[in-house]
Amino acid sequence: MPELPEVITIRNDLKKEILGKKIAGVWAQDKSKEKELNPAVIGTKIVGVGNRAKLLILKLSSQQYIAIHLNMTGVLLFNSADPYVRVSLKFNDVSTLNFSDTRMFGFLKLWSEQELKAYVSRYGKSVLDASLNGSKFAEILKKTNTGIKNALLDQKLISGVGNIYTNDALYLSDINPKKKTREITNKEYEALFKSLKEILLEGIKNRGSSIDRYKDIYGRQGSQQNFFRVYGKAGKKCGKCDTKIVFEKVQGRGTFYCPTCQS
């Protein structure tokens, strides 16, 4: 599933390619969606490209929004297509943005400002938000009493972080993924907050992790998978000690950690 680094990579590329363009038409595999979108968006201009956590947001000159969530297997392709394209946005310069999804878990929807606000209100702050620091981060997570990994994946608490980057951030800060949120010290929370920022910014620099279907809007893979600390490394030696990395399911999610460093 695309996480924050992948979404930000896509957002930044979309700003370069479609900001300021007019929508000339919409094709959709679902003809009812095509009928819904076409009259509402034809002739409108893309006046903003942003995101809230994993949600991509295209602001239209009509004061409506195209909201796109890639979920597990969605991709956006600029001027290219694959067999799984569900919706195509066609622009006045003949360029095209295609929303493709093999399993149809993601979505592309037209929302009013009120609908958008209602949806994003479910999300907590991102670790990369300037208004969030280590102490506020700790305060949010201490309100729960669950395993720290489970808490980090709860988008209502902290948004944008998924399974891949959580594994590596917990490893960098020497915190066991099963440790309870209220058992973690303020010093550990500061280290975890710092590690999460480091991992997410590194992921953005490397244009995301391509371990499944993720690719950027040009069809290129990211390279963050070449820099994983523990994710996908079960049975290999820890980079800090000689202990082998362990894999187990924690709250139903595949979890990798060093049983010595993260005891």
DSSP conformation letters of 144-181: S-SBHHHHHT-TTTEES--HHHHHHHHHHTT--TTSBG
Give the Cα separation of 16 and 31 in Å (integer): 30
From the candidates 33, 54, 213, 215, give the one annotated as an active-site residue. 54
Name the amino acid, one letter, at 55: L
Give the Cα separation of 116 and 178 in Å (integer): 34
Give the Cα separation of 215 and 132 in Å (integer): 29
Strand, coil or helix: 133: coil
From the candidates 21, 142, 244, 253, give the one annotated as an active-site residue. 253
Residue 54 annotated to the active site:
yes
Q: In what order do the strands lie in the sheet with 65-69?
A: 46-52, 55-60, 65-69, 107-111
Distances (CA, A) of 12 to 19, 206, 215, 217, 250: 10, 13, 14, 10, 33
In this structure, the number of other CB atoms found within 10 A of the CB of residue 128 comes to 17
- Residue 131 burial (CB < 10 Å; 0-12/13-18/19+)? exposed
**Local structure of residue 255 (DSSP, 8 states):** E
Residue 86 annotated to the active site:
no
Residue 2 annotated to the active site:
yes
From the candidates 3, 59, 215, 233, give the one annotated as an active-site residue. 3
Give the Cα separation of 17 and 223 in Å (integer): 22
Catalytic residues: 2-3, 54, 253
